[in-house]
Amino acid sequence: MTSNKEEVKLFGMKASPFVCRVEIALKLKGVEYKYEVEKFKNLSDTLINYNPVYKKVPVLVHNDMPLSESLVILEYIDETWKQNSILPSDPSKRALARFWSKFIDDKVISSLSLSNFALCNSNPTSHTHTLFF
């Protein structure tokens, strides 16, 4: 658990798989955090200040230090809170886990995003199929 001196905030959107993976890691580690809800296409100035390069979620703020990009955040969480390790201790197994994480991001998530884009643009007046990836 976090000590009384630590402050952890997660800026995110519930529909984001990238935010979801960070939430799972925080819960697995038993880290208490405050969830700051961001609105799609209407991000807060606070989030943009914390992530001025990409201007997207997730952003984890630990004791006023912001981190962006979900895989970077996951590694930070695993290295900061030692209980309930996310990655294997063996370097080759850890590298393999990183490979598959990157593969999922590059191939699976990007394919879902393209499919969602095509679905949403096939009928521009319909907003019933909108997903947020």
Euclidean distance between CA atoms 14 and 19, whole angstroms: 7
What average pLDDT does the structure give for the chain? 85
Q: Which domain holds residue 40?
A: 8-80
In a domain, 66, yes or no: yes
Q: How buried is residue 118: exposed, middle or buried, by Cβ count under 10 Å (0-12/13-18/19+)?
A: exposed
In a domain, 133, yes or no: no
Higher confidence at residue 118 or residue 85? 85
Cα R_g (the chain), whole angstroms? 16
Q: pLDDT tens across 7-20, in order?
A: 999 999 988 889 99
In a domain, 93, yes or no: yes
Q: Is the pTM of this model over 0.85?
A: no
Check whether residue 19 and residue 75 sit in a common domain.
yes
Check whether residue 71 and residue 118 sit in a common domain.
no
Burial letters 34-47, b for 16+ CB under 10 A, else e: eebebeeeebeeeb
Does residue 1 carry a pLDDT above 90? no
In a domain, 40, yes or no: yes
Euclidean distance between CA atoms 12 and 40, whole angstroms: 10
Q: pLDDT tens across 78-109, in order?
A: 999 999 999 999 999 999 999 998 888 888 77
Q: Count of domains in the chain?
A: 2
